[in-house]
A = this chain, B = another copy of it.
Amino acid sequence: MRDAVNALAEALNTEDPLKLWSFLVSCLGDVSQDGAVEVSGITLSALVERVGLQPQAMRVALHRLKRDGWVESRRVGRVGYHRLSDNALRRTRAVAARIYGPAAAETEWHLVGLPPDAPDGLALLPDRVSAIAISRSFALVSGPVDDVPEDWLVTAPGARDLPAWVQDIVAKAACESGFAGLEAAVAAIDALPEALPDEQLDRFALRVLVLHGWRRLVLRSNPAAETAIGVGRAEMTCRARVHGLLERLGPVTPEWFQVAS
């Protein structure tokens, strides 16, 4: 019989196969919201196995994460303990509001036109400005428009709705179908009788799974594209559904990730 953890893992795998290294980053990032927290290899193994990934692949995944500066490990006797590096924590915190916070306040998008001699010009924008190209030299942007370079053309939304070809571009960049899929998957979980498992490992697995599915979508989705779609965008309802499940599961407690050690 399918339980909530299996059902969600299956749904996420259908959308986009779960990657072990990325799942581990989601897990270590989630437990470290208030400061670096280490998790034992035993707990990570149990968690990984519970969501249907291969614990045998963990040694390689952790080795790569350490090599790339994402994870730091220490060993106490026969048990390894793993945490995000300071650099990874900084990068994780930079996007925490987007993952754990409310949906971005509604702002207006602008259309910007790059000067003819500015190829790859979108890379010139500061981080606070998001952009989605809709032609070779025009893009929709959101964020502080004053940060757009002075020699760019800036126009505002007209009275007319975005035409279909722009809607297609922004819907894709805003991961509309991804968010809709995740929302449906979480809604299906919510409807299961055992949506809130009693087992601590199951709760932990469910929390990290839904957070991982959400995180990978949110970090891929383009905020300018979301702004252009506006209040009806799939990210908003999906965020409410994901945050709702996280709330029902309750906050991460040390017992959760010490369960198997």
Contact = CB atoms under 8 A, between A and B. Distances in A.
Interface in A129-188: 134-138, 145, 150-160, 162-166
Nearest to A146: B160
A17 interface: no
B165 A116 contact: yes
A155 B115 contact: no
Given A111-B111, A135-B135, A158 B155 contact: yes
Contacts of A153: 111, 134, 162-163, 166
Nearest to A163: B151
A165 B151 contact: yes
Most chain B CB inside 10 Å of its own CB: which residue of A113, A153, A158? A153
Interface in A107-126: 110-111, 113, 115-116
B160 A157 contact: no
Nearest to A134: B113
A113 B152 contact: no
Interface string A217-228: 000000000000
Given A153-B162, A155-B111, A135 B134 contact: no
Interface of A: 110-111, 113, 115-116, 134-138, 145, 150-160, 162-166
